[in-house]
Amino acid sequence: MISSIFWIVPLSALLALLFAWIFYRNMKALDEGTDRMKEIALYVREGAMAYIKRQYTVVGKVFAILVVILTILAYLGVQNPFVPIAFLTGGFFSGLCGYLGMKTATFASNRTAWAASKSLNKGLQVALRSGAVMGLVVVGFGLIDIAIWFFILNNWIFTPEHMQNGLHFMGLTFVHTGTTDHQKLIEITAIMLTFGMGASTQALFARVGGGIFTKAADVGADLVGKVEAGIPEDDPRNPATIADNVGDNVGDVAGMGADLYESYAGSILATAALGAALPAIAGDLQMKAVIAPMIVSAIGILLSIAGVYMVRTKESATPKNLLNALLLGTGGSSALILVAIAVLASTGWITWGVFGSVVAGLTAGVIIGQSTEYFTSDGYKPTQGIAKQAQQGPATVIIEGMAVGMLSTWVPVLTIVAGIVAAFGFAGGFSNFAMGVYGIGFAAVGMLSTLGITLATDAFGPIADNAGGNAEMAELPKEVRERTDALDGLGNTTAATGKGFAIGSAALTALALMAAYMEEVRLWLGRLADQAPEKFKQIGDYLFYSSSVPAVQDGQTAVHLTSATIRDFAAAYDLSLFNPVLLGGIFIGAMMAFLFSSMSMKAVGRAAGKMVDEVRRQFREIPGIMEGTGKPEYAKCVEISTRGAQKEMMVPSLLAIAVPMVVGIVFGVPGVIGLLAGGMTTGFTLACMLNNSGGAWDNAKKYIERGNLGGKKSEAHKASVVGDTVGDPFKDTSGPSLNILIKLMSMVSVVMAGITVAVHLF
Amino acid sequence: MAIYIYLTSAPEALVASMLPPEGFGMYLSTGTKKLNKGQSIFFEVDLGKIEYLIDLEGLNKRCVAKEDGSPKSSVYLSVYKVLEILPLDSLKSLYLTTDNGHILELKKSTYDKSKEVFDALWLYQELCPVTPMVASGLPPSVFLKRLTDGSTPIVLPKLFFVDLKLGELATDPLRGSAEDLPYTNLGHLRDCLEILRGEYEKHMKTVQRIFSGLLLYRTIKSGFYVGAKDEMIFYRYPTMKELEDLNYEFFRAI
Instruction: Compute φ and ψ for A624, nearest 5 degrees.
Output: 75, 15
Chain B interface mutation, best of A616, A714, A715, A717, highest count of B Cβ atoms under 10 Å? A714
Q: Which of B123, B90, B80 is nearest to B227 (CA)?
A: B90
Strands B40-45 and B122-128 turn out to be unpaired
Q: Which residues pair with B134 in a beta bridge?
A: B124, B206
Q: Which amino acid is at B174?
A: L
Chain B interface mutation, best of A231, A472, A617, A703, highest count of B Cβ atoms under 10 Å? A231
Q: Hey, are the CB atoms on B32 and A710 less than 8 Å from each other?
A: no
Pairs across A and B, CB distance < 8 A: 69
More confident residue, A12 or A718: A12
Report d(CA B49, CA B95) in Å as an integer: 19
Q: Is B60 on the interface with A (CB under 8 A)?
A: no
Strands B204-208 and B133-136 turn out to be antiparallel
Q: Is B178 on the interface with A (CB under 8 A)?
A: no
- Model ipTM? 0.75
The set of residues, in sequence order, having a beta carbon less than 8 Å from that of A64 and lying 6+ positions away, is none
Name the strands in the sheet holding A542-545, side by side, starting at the edge strand that comes first in the sequence.
A536-539, A542-545, A557-560
Partners of A711 on chain B (C-beta within 8 Å) are 180, 182, 216, 218
Q: Which residue of B has its CA nearest to A715?
A: B182
Could you write out the DSSP letters of every residue in A20-35? HHHHHHHHHTS---SH
pLDDT at A255: 85
pLDDT band at B33; cut points 50, 70, 90: low
pLDDT band at A740; cut points 50, 70, 90: confident
Q: Which of A206, A177, A2 is nearest to A100 (CA)?
A: A206
pLDDT at A282: 63
**What average pLDDT does range A705-710 have in this prediction?**
87
Nearest CA distance, A231 vs chain B (angstrom)? 5
Q: Is B98 on the interface with A (CB under 8 A)?
A: yes
Q: Is B151 on the interface with A (CB under 8 A)?
A: no
Q: Is B180 on the interface with A (CB under 8 A)?
A: yes
The set of residues, in sequence order, having a beta carbon less than 8 Å from that of A85 and lying 6+ positions away, is none
pLDDT band at A1; cut points 50, 70, 90: low
- How confident is the prediction for chain B on average, in pLDDT? 91
Least confident of A272-281, A331-340, B186-195: A272-281
Partners of A230 on chain B (C-beta within 8 Å) are 30, 37-38, 98-100
CB A561 within 8 A of CB A575: no
pLDDT tens digits for range B107-131: 999 999 998 988 889 999 999 999 9
Q: Hey, are the CB atoms on A707 and B253 less than 8 Å from each other?
A: no
**What average pLDDT does range B219-226 have in this prediction?**
96
**What average pLDDT does range A558-563 have in this prediction?**
88
Nearest-CB residue to B100 (from A232, A620, A715): A232
Let me know if A340 is exposed, middle or buried by CB neighbors in 10 A (0-12, 13-18, 19+): middle
pLDDT at B36: 62
Strands B40-45 and B159-164 turn out to be unpaired
Nearest CA distance, B52 vs chain A (angstrom)? 35
pLDDT band at A478; cut points 50, 70, 90: confident
Residues in chain A: 762
User: Taking 90 as the threshold, does the pLDDT of residue A37 lie above it?
Assistant: yes
Predicted TM-score of the model (pTM): 0.86
Q: Which residue of B has its CA nearest to A616?
A: B35
User: Taking 50 as the threshold, does the pLDDT of residue A339 lie above it?
Assistant: yes
Q: Which residue of A has its CA nearest to B27?
A: A627
Work out the percent of chain A whose per-residue pLDDT is above 70.
99
User: Taking 50 as the threshold, does the pLDDT of residue B54 lie above it?
Assistant: yes
Partners of A627 on chain B (C-beta within 8 Å) are 26, 30, 32, 101
Nearest-CB residue to B218 (from A231, A619, A711): A711
User: Taking 80 as the threshold, does the pLDDT of residue A638 lie above it?
Assistant: yes
- How confident is the prediction for chain A on average, in pLDDT? 89
Q: Hey, are the CB atoms on A715 and B32 less than 8 Å from each other?
A: no
Nearest CA distance, B243 vs chain A (angstrom)? 12
Q: ∠A321-A325-A326 over CA atoms, to 5°?
A: 120
Tell me how crowded residue A178 is: count the other CB atoms within 10 A of its CB: 13
pLDDT at B179: 81
Nearest CA distance, B187 vs chain A (angstrom)? 13
Cite the beta strand spans of A540-618 per DSSP E. 542-545, 557-560
